[in-house]
Structure 1
């Protein structure tokens, strides 16, 4: 499960959040390493090697082939006899290079923080291995001294101490190997459900030592982040005839549907139907309006993923998520939850400002994208990179839409007025303009809130796209500095987006930090444009501009 948000909760600013339940549900921060355990030295990637858009059958065949060779791969990587690999994803480039992402088990137990990526050339030669941790996975034995009930009591106590209510465990604690921080340890992972103080659903992951009962880690997986829309004007929305009325269902985009929670806080909600296929009135006076914004946002995000990134939906399997609007009462929040594979939107202060703006929708769904690919842990520096990834693709979606009512910009959530003073939630050209975020990387940055530590990556993306200094884009004035005052020349947003996406899907792991993100994006630029290209050099210059060298 993965958490992400669009603003810092501790500063009383609304949090738009993502969670994602995956095979490795709590892969946490540890120093990722790039090595060649049992592999040939990494060779130069060929220029002009974007990822292919695979059909469902092609992707299934790649996954099958990779799955049939996991034992040989584990042996080549010199893993112990107790370790096994589980294929999570395969990305194939135009030049035949494959990037296979694996989770790891030890003596049948999930290894949290054990994920890795193996890159192979078209000939099948291993050219690169990237690991979330370089520690040898081994424990004395897998017999726990603490009973599962003890781990459950501990987790429930931690949830209650955090102020959660209606707490209960979703399932019995599961035994795992905790390898994300330091020496691998036999542990329990317990997931506690409930409701947070502000009404947001709670899904607290607690990792405890299976021999001592001590807490090793805790993480909140959900935090406080033609229709007439409220924010995007008159837009086309997918619908189908259902009997004598119309149903808000987008069959052209994986069957995406939008539901009305009617201020409830659980369940799927009711379907939206309409007699004349004209939805909403652009105002909050009828429930359909928020649904139009949410439905439109999902459609544009789907189209961006497909037409720009060559990706068929969040999981790249052609299946749509669904949306829920009107969550709670005056709920100033929105979140993605991979457990339901859905987006959920509150109506804001006074139920007048639903959090359904286009870049917010793109932001939330991109948390699902991160979960399905690098699975960046919402902790340490990887947490900031997780948040930045959603900002980057939320921004990309807004530019892609070319909607005159909500033009593309490098501002996050500028229309929903969460701060109450008309200012946007986040600035990518100079993140510190929000009063809290970091412009540049510094040692220890990972100890702060991911909403704030996303700043250097957002700043990097802006510099890579537009360059430093003053400029006007779509009527918005920007003035982006660098830490040393050196000018950075941008390569254009389109290329910057493709570099970040390739880095995310082919080179980042769950524990990637800022230094490793630099390496990943340089690899991506080299694969796409060549190691002597202007694009490759610009990536290095943009990272230097935010103090990542």
Structure 2
């Protein structure tokens, strides 16, 4: 492994000292946040019949194990997907929580999945016609008969997947669910969650590269993460960046390597954060890194991290790459969400999904400690998306962007996920720093509360760990904000103990964004 200094896109920024993550004395319950021993998926598969009987699942329901989280005290949390009479159940995922003896102590996210018949009245071609996405170019469509769990119960439906390119040049994998009886469109969401912006400013950084003269490659030899150039394409493998002297880029977009440096740095720092802070070895928790694929001549940066694709689109300025540290962490965190709770990209769940990426993108930025892009509670402050020098989103008061909500109510689910993310972003800031006016790491904030209360923060490191445990252990695909409150309070109790300042602070921050107390109390 070599450590080499690389020039990346930069601007004149005041030198700032990045404050360290807040330190908190860990209670005995915080052991659960340590890297857990990898439970055997094979062993869990062997127990599926017993689990089905213990949960009293109905006839025709079959379980498959998606992932397992095992705490040091022997408690385990097994995430399952379901099929019904051979059909995939969309929204039928749930988590079984077992005590150290293996008995089921509770579940999260269970729902009825049985439908009267799995014989459709509608043909696949008719369903595809109903779901036609005319706004997508170069579109290709496939249809799969599934059981869709809705707010009104399970429905036999076609999952019509339309892949193509949107008008703003970003790729799309649009799922449209069409009732297999009457042809009504029941639901839809896009599989590709996209960030927006242009420009990145990480300065001169050190990266681990591979190879030897005259052929070095921009590949991390430990994780395998590497960066390739798509050269104008919107998909494909791209061309691996190589160099003769192991000095990459010139600090400006006149050299395509500069963008590659930024992308590789973002991928490495995101991996480091999850591995070092949360004990998760990559998106799939496999210990492998991922390639970051860069194209900026046609306004694209595609990040492929540990096998999952995220896409950055930029329809404003084609000259600059989009690889700010928090944006890179944001996009790659969509892959973590997909491989944990799998929050769908619509309704409350879509807002929780988008805010989760904002939370961990922010966490990556703080953890990176880069003086050219220091940690803050602003999203995309480096990319100047509107040309006015303002950030894309504000976590202390999300409504400052003109579209996001500060407070949750039942109408938030109607918003685009980029704006329904506001209340959870607000929760994260309040839980981290508390309410009112203050300056943190050189940036002034003033965070109000929705109930007029004064909230004391429990620290950013606590809020990060609590939300990660909520995401990985308790939330499911269609969780809403009230479910998120219960999940976070329960996660805080797991980590820091019932009645702890941390669990009380987490609950108070949810009350402060308008989410009332549910079944779980501090």
What CA deviation, in whole Å up to 9, does each residue of 1:266-291 have, x standing for no partner?
Answer: 32211111111111111111000111
What CA deviation, in whole Å up to 9, does each residue of 1:345-404 have, x standing for no partner?
Answer: 457644333210000000000000000000011111011000110000000000001111
From the superposition, tell whether residues 316 and 369 of structure 1 become closer, same or farther in structure 2 (CA, over 3 Å).
same
Counterpart contact for 1:468–1:479, Cα < 8 Å: yes
From the superposition, tell whether residues 220 and 522 of structure 1 become closer, same or farther in structure 2 (CA, over 3 Å).
same
Counterpart contact for 2:36–2:71, Cα < 8 Å: no
TM-score (norm 2): 0.89
Secondary structure (helix, strand or coil) at the match of 1:48 reads helix
Shift of 1:214: 2.2
Alignment counterpart, residue 271 of structure 2, candidates 302, 306, 311? 302
Alignment correspondent of 1:279: 248
Alignment correspondent of 2:481: 514
Alignment counterpart, residue 159 of structure 1, candidates 108, 129, 133? 133
Alignment correspondent of 2:35: 53
Alignment counterpart, residue 433 of structure 1, candidates 394, 400, 410? 400
Which piece of structure 1 moves more, 313-322 or 462-471?
313-322
Secondary structure (helix, strand or coil) at the match of 1:47 reads helix
From the superposition, tell whether residues 257 and 166 of structure 1 become closer, same or farther in structure 2 (CA, over 3 Å).
same
From the superposition, tell whether residues 247 and 199 of structure 1 become closer, same or farther in structure 2 (CA, over 3 Å).
same
From the superposition, tell whether residues 386 and 312 of structure 1 become closer, same or farther in structure 2 (CA, over 3 Å).
same
Alignment correspondent of 2:118: 142
Please give the residue correspondences for 1:28-427 in structure 2 after superposition, counting only pairs within 5 Å.
Answer: 47-54=29-36, 58-59=38-39, 61=40, 63-131=41-109, 133-134=110-111, 136-155=112-131, 158-160=132-134, 163-169=135-141, 171=142, 173-222=143-192, 225=195, 231-242=201-212, 244-252=214-222, 254-327=223-296, 329=298, 331=299, 341-345=308-312, 349-427=316-394
From the superposition, tell whether residues 278 and 248 of structure 1 become closer, same or farther in structure 2 (CA, over 3 Å).
same
Counterpart contact for 1:321–1:342, Cα < 8 Å: no
Counterpart contact for 2:200–2:383, Cα < 8 Å: no
Alignment correspondent of 1:13: none
Shift of 1:51: 4.0
Shift of 1:529: 0.4
Aligned partners of 2:317 and 2:65: how far apart in 1? 47
Aligned partners of 2:397 and 2:189: how far apart in 1? 29
From the superposition, tell whether residues 535 and 490 of structure 1 become closer, same or farther in structure 2 (CA, over 3 Å).
same
Aligned partners of 2:100 and 2:193: how far apart in 1? 42
Alignment correspondent of 2:20: none
What CA deviation, in whole Å up to 9, does each residue of 1:46-81 have, x standing for no partner?
Answer: 8334244256xx34x2x1121111111111111112
Secondary structure (helix, strand or coil) at the match of 2:207 reads coil
Counterpart contact for 1:360–1:412, Cα < 8 Å: yes
Alignment correspondent of 1:38: none
Shift of 1:450: 0.9
Counterpart contact for 1:49–1:527, Cα < 8 Å: no
What CA deviation, in whole Å up to 9, does each residue of 1:157-212 have, x standing for no partner?
Answer: x211xx2121222x4x2111111331211111111112111111121211112222
Aligned partners of 2:201 and 2:315: how far apart in 1? 14
Shift of 1:242: 4.8
Alignment correspondent of 1:452: 419
From the superposition, tell whether residues 328 and 503 of structure 1 become closer, same or farther in structure 2 (CA, over 3 Å).
same
Shift of 1:490: 0.7
Aligned partners of 2:305 and 2:59: how far apart in 1? 33
Aligned partners of 1:427 and 1:230: how far apart in 2? 18
Counterpart contact for 1:437–1:451, Cα < 8 Å: yes
Q: Which consecutive unaligned segments of at least 5 residues does structure 1 have?
A: 1-44
What CA deviation, in whole Å up to 9, does each residue of 1:90-133 have, x standing for no partner?
Answer: 001121110100011111111111111011111212222112x5
Which piece of structure 1 moves more, 424-433 or 143-152?
143-152
Secondary structure (helix, strand or coil) at the match of 1:521 reads helix
Shift of 1:544: 0.9
Secondary structure (helix, strand or coil) at the match of 1:478 reads strand
Q: CA RMSD in A?
A: 2.0
What CA deviation, in whole Å up to 9, does each residue of 1:203-243 have, x standing for no partner?
Answer: 12111122222222222223551xxx951111112211156
Aligned partners of 2:489 and 2:36: how far apart in 1? 24
What CA deviation, in whole Å up to 9, does each residue of 1:304-338 have, x standing for no partner?
Answer: 00100001011101122221111552x2x656678
Counterpart contact for 2:168–2:313, Cα < 8 Å: no
From the superposition, tell whether residues 338 and 407 of structure 1 become closer, same or farther in structure 2 (CA, over 3 Å).
closer
Aligned partners of 1:138 and 1:346: how far apart in 2? 40
Alignment correspondent of 1:6: none
Aligned partners of 1:238 and 1:197: how far apart in 2? 37
Matched residue pairs, number?
Answer: 487
Counterpart contact for 2:301–2:313, Cα < 8 Å: yes
Superposed structure 1 runs of 4+ greater than 6 Å apart: none
Counterpart contact for 1:191–1:206, Cα < 8 Å: yes
Aligned partners of 2:167 and 2:393: how far apart in 1? 24
Shift of 1:141: 1.7
Aligned partners of 1:345 and 1:110: how far apart in 2? 30
Secondary structure (helix, strand or coil) at the match of 2:172 reads strand
TM-score (norm 1): 0.85
